[in-house]
Structure formats: structure tokens, C-alpha cells
């Protein structure tokens, strides 16, 4: 066989597509509108049309695509729902977008063992809808209509992580297709094992750079007997943050505790019609468990809030009211965008140890004032993670000011033993911070793993691991 690297990129792509049109004739699209949908995710300007989109319907389909792309040196970017915010799914030039959103089966459901196996294209919402009658649910809740495969690839978390953890803690095993097309299974159904390398954790958060996840074995949990949700407002952000930190430090097992500052609350009130609330710093709480346990959680939390200047709890007493409250929290990004519809908006993402959270937020608020930009703060303060939604005019100067503020926020988090991302991931947007956070030695280990598993660099190239200084892309 002739050396594939000699042919032009366009010729190599055409060789792959020609073969796929014979084996997967109804699953290959070069329609411009379909390619545009797969050219980017959310919240980043970076976009690049893939040469084609292939809609996989099985693990074997994924294997077939990757085998061909490996032979012909064609880049592949896995695509789920396109909800990632750091450029994860933006393809490089002459690439194929591999869409897994049609892979929506529950392959295995084991209610007695509290686990299930799902295909990568299934969303969390759809999984929970299908298993609701069993009394079980999957708790990791990043807010959007993300696919479970994408949530594995980005190590997603969200509002419930303070109680249930992130995808890292809730995935028991995976089916993964490697760059060559080989199919492997990692982990299994047991809750612990002392055998071999932890390959499941290697792929969780790998952002499609080491393999394409096609199935995941997930932990499930019993639906709580009782659920209570409330909001508590404060005169200052300091009071709200101090309350959230103390709730965690005192060991109160809240299911969720979310912060929105006064700018974000004004946006949420207008966007989600929360007319009963005021534009003040606000904590959103959810408590779950048995009725007696929930009462204890509520009483302890109310006591802490009062001591820190809380203005009283407003309760969401019905499922409909709780849904309305949490939908408003999940729509915080869109509410912030609605403040100035023509503005450019980005959402930062950083995390610090819980004891450093107040210091970080105070510093970030200082940076916002110094920048002269408008920004809202919202986040999962129960685990030290929050976002700053920065607005600016959509000009080159506006972008520069926005990115300058973003870098200051990340630098503060890193200086406080934090991370440049608690849940968004790296993609393209966070590459510049990786060496500062992890060090050159750790990055070299990551590059070694990437080269060993994907020697032709066809799997989501240019993402997650920054290019080594002095090398060609």
C-alpha cells in the first residue's frame, strides 16, 4: 500500500469518505448546514468546517471509521451534543466529525446492583426519564443537554457534585475505540478492583484525544425520599460565601449549594421571571434524604445563614417550583447574555480548595472593578468552583480586555493551589495554563501517553495538551 502521508490532505479525506459511502451509505453527510452544526461547540468563537460528518450507530461503526482514518492519516473529532464550551469539538483542517448522538441505547440495566451500561449518545435527562419508574437516577448534572459520552470525555460535574461527585467517581467502566480502530473495555461492574492500571480514569477527561468512548458503565442512586429547595439572599457576597463554606466545613450533607452574585441575580430575575427575589447575592440550596434528615439539614443551614446575615429562606415547596428554580440557575449563562444581547460573553471556570474560596472571589471582584467590564459570578461554591460571565463589546479591543481579565482570574486560582478548570475542561481555551498548573514534567508524561496511544495524532489533535515549545504543529 502506498504511504498515505504522501497524498494531499483532501485526497486522504476523499479516500476515507469513498470507503465509508460503501459501508455506511446513509450515515455520511457533506451537507454544508450539517457541517456547520459540527464546526464548533458553545461559548467559543473558534470554528472550522469538518470535511464531512459521519453518524455512528454502534461501536463497530466507530471502529470502522477510526480504522480508515488511521490508515489514511485523517483527523477525527468525536461529537456528542456540541455543548462543550472550550472548543473541544472544533475540528482542525481536513478532519471528519464523528457524531455519536444516534447511539442512545441502555445496553444493560442492573437495578439490584445500582448500575447500568449506556451508549455514549444518550443524555443524562433521557437516561433518568427511562429509569424513573425503577426508583433510581444518575446524579451528575452539568445543566445542559450533554451526552453521557461527552460528559465522560470532559470529566463533567455540575450542581450536584458536592454530594455525588463528578463523572470520575460515577463511571465504573468504558468501551473505547482506540486510534487504530481496536475496541477495548476498561473497568467493569464491581465497585473496586486492585488489578492493573486504572484505564477507566485515563480516558475520563481525555477529551477524545486517546480514544473514542462508545459505552459507559454508570453508578446509579436511589431517588431521595424527601427533597427541599430554597434560596437565601444576603446583603453582601462575603456573607453568602462564608455561609456556603461553613455549610461544607460543618459537614452538612447538602445536595446542592450554588452562588449567584447581585449582577447574575438581576439577570436571572429578568430572564427567568424570578420576580419574588431581589438582585442581591443569593445561595440556592437543595436538601435530600429522609424527612427527618432533611429537617436537620435545613435547620443547621438556616442557623448558619442567619448568623452570617442571611435575609431568610424562600422555599420551593412543589416539584414544579423546584424545577423552575433550578432551571433558572442552569440558564444563568443565557440570562447573562441577555443583559447585552450584542455583547461578547465568555464563561470562565476555576476552582480552589474550599478554604481559599472567599479569598479568590474577593480578588476576582477586585479584578472586575479594575477592568471596567461588566461581569456576573455564579458557581458551585460547595466544592470551591465558580464561573465569571464576562461581557464586553465584540471588537478586537473588547476581546483583549476580556481575555486579560480571564487570565488574571485563572492566575489568582492557580496561586491559591487551584485549577484553571473545575469542569469545563481544556479543549483549546485553557491550553496556555496547563504548564503553569501541572509543570513541564507532567506535561511530558501526558505527551508520551498521547504519542503511544495515537502515534499519528489523528484523535482530536491540538486539544488538551499544549504543543511542546519549538515543535511544529
Domain residue ranges of the chain, discontinuous segments joined by +:
4-99, 106-222, 226-415, 430-468
Q: What angle do CA 187, 190, 192 make, to 5 degrees?
A: 80
Contacts of residue 216, Cβ cutoff 8 Å, sequence gap at least 6? 117, 118, 120, 148, 149, 152, 171, 173, 174, 175
Contacts of residue 395, Cβ cutoff 8 Å, sequence gap at least 6? none
pLDDT band at 43; cut points 50, 70, 90: low
Percent of the chain with pLDDT over 70: 97
DSSP 419: B
Helix, strand or coil, per DSSP, at residue 53: strand
Give domain 226-415's CATH number out of 3.40.50.10470, 3.40.50.150, 3.30.160.270, 3.40.462.10: 3.40.462.10
Cell readout for 40 is: 464548533
Q: What average pLDDT score do residues 423-451 get? A: 96
Q: How far is CA 315 from the centre of its chain?
A: 29
Could you read off the pLDDT of 238-290 as tens digits, one per residue? 999 999 999 999 999 999 999 999 999 999 999 999 999 999 999 999 999 99
- pTM for the complete prediction? 0.95
Q: What average pLDDT score do residues 25-54 get? A: 93
The residue count of the chain comes to 473
Helix, strand or coil, per DSSP, at residue 204: coil
Contacts of residue 469, Cβ cutoff 8 Å, sequence gap at least 6? none
Looking at domain 106-222, its CATH architecture is 2-Layer Sandwich (3.30)
Sign of dihedral through CA atoms 135, 139, 144, 146? negative
CA distance between the termini of the chain = 26
Integer-rounded Cα radius of gyration of the chain? 23
What is the CATH topology of the domain spanning 4-99?
Answer: 3.30.43
Judged against a pLDDT cut of 80, whether residue 317 lies above it is answered with no
Could you read off the pLDDT of 74-101 as tens digits, one per residue? 999 999 999 999 999 999 999 999 999 9
Q: How far is CA 60 from the centre of its chain?
A: 27
pLDDT value at residue 52: 98
Q: Give Cα separations from 185 to 40, 101, 198 (angstroms).
A: 29, 20, 12
Contacts of residue 165, Cβ cutoff 8 Å, sequence gap at least 6? 140, 157
Judged against a pLDDT cut of 90, whether residue 8 lies above it is answered with yes
Cell readout for 32 is: 454544508
Amino acid at each position: 500500500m502506498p504511504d498515505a502521508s504522501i497524498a494531499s490532505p483532501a485526497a486522504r479525506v476523499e479516500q476515507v469518505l469513498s470507503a465509508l459511502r460503501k459501508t455506511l451509505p446513509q450515515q455520511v453527510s457533506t451537507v454544508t448546514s450539517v457541517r456547520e452544526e459540527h464546526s464548533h461547540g458553545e461559548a467559543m468563537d473558534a470554528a472550522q468546517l469538518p470535511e464531512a460528518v459521519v453518524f455512528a450507530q454502534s461501536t463497530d461503526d466507530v471502529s470502522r471509521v477510526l480504522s480508515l482514518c488511521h490508515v489514511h492519516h485523517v483527523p477525527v473529532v468525536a461529537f456528542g451534543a456540541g455543548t462543550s464550551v472550550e472548543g473541544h469539538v472544533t475540528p482542525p483542517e481536513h478532519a471528519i466529525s464523528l457524531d455519536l448522538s444516534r447511539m442512545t441505547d441502555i445496553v444493560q440495566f442492573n437495578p439490584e446492583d445500582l448500575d447500568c451500561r449506556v451508549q455514549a449518545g444518550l443524555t443524562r435527562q433521557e437516561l433518568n426519564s427511562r429509569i424513573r419508574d425503577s426508583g433510581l437516577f444518575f446524579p451528575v448534572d452539568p445543566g445542559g443537554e450533554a451526552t453521557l459520552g461527552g460528559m465522560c470525555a470532559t470529566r463533567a460535574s455540575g450542581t450536584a457534585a458536592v454530594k455525588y461527585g463528578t463523572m470520575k467517581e460515577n463511571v465504573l467502566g468504558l468501551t473505547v475505540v482506540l486510534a487504530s480502530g481496536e475496541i477495548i473495555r476498561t473497568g467493569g461492574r464491581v465497585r473496586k478492583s486492585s488489578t492493573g492500571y486504572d484505564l477507566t480514569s485515563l480516558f475520563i477527561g481525555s477529551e477524545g484525544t486517546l480514544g473514542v468512548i462508545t459505552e459507559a458503565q454508570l453508578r446509579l442512586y436511589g431517588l431521595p425520599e424527601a427533597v427541599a429547595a430554597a434560596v437565601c439572599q444576603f446583603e453582601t457576597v462575603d456573607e453568602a460565601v462564608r455561609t456556603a463554606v461553613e455549610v461544607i466545613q460543618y459537614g452538612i450533607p447538602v445536595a446542592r449549594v450554588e452562588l449567584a452574585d447581585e449582577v447574575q441575580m438581576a439577570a436571572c430575575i429578568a430572564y427567568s421571571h424570578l420576580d419574588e427575589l431581589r438582585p442581591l447575592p443569593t445561595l440556592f440550596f437543595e436538601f435530600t434524604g429522609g424527612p427527618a434528615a432533611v429537617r436537620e439539614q435545613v435547620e443547621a443551614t438556616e442557623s448558619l445563614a442567619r448568623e452570617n446575615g442571611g435575609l431568610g429562606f424562600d422555599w420551593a415547596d412543589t416539584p414544579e417550583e423546584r424545577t423552575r428554580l433550578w432551571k433558572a440557575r442552569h440558564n444563568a449563562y443565557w440570562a447573562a447574555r441577555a443583559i447585552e444581547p450584542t455583547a461578547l460573553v465568555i464563561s470562565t471556570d476555576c476552582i480552589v480548595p474550599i478554604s481559599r474560596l472567599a479569598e479568590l472571589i474577593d480578588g476576582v471582584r477586585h479584578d472586575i472593578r479594575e477592568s471596567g467590564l461588566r461581569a456576573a459570578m455564579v458557581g458551585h461554591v460547595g466544592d470551591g468552583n465558580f464561573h465569571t460571565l464576562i461581557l464586553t463589546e465584540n471588537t478586537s479591543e473588547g476581546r483583549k480586555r476580556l481575555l486579560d481579565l480571564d487570565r488574571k482570574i485563572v492566575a489568582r486560582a492557580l496561586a491559591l493551589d487551584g485549577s484553571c478548570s473545575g469542569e469545563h475542561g481544556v479543549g483549546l481555551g485553557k491550553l496556555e495554563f496547563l504548564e503553569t498548573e501541572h509543570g513541564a514534567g507532567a506535561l511530558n508524561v501526558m505527551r508520551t501517553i498521547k504519542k503511544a496511544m495515537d502515534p499519528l495524532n489523528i484523535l482530536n489533535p491540538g486539544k488538551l495538551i499544549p504543543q511542546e515549545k519549538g515543535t511544529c504543529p
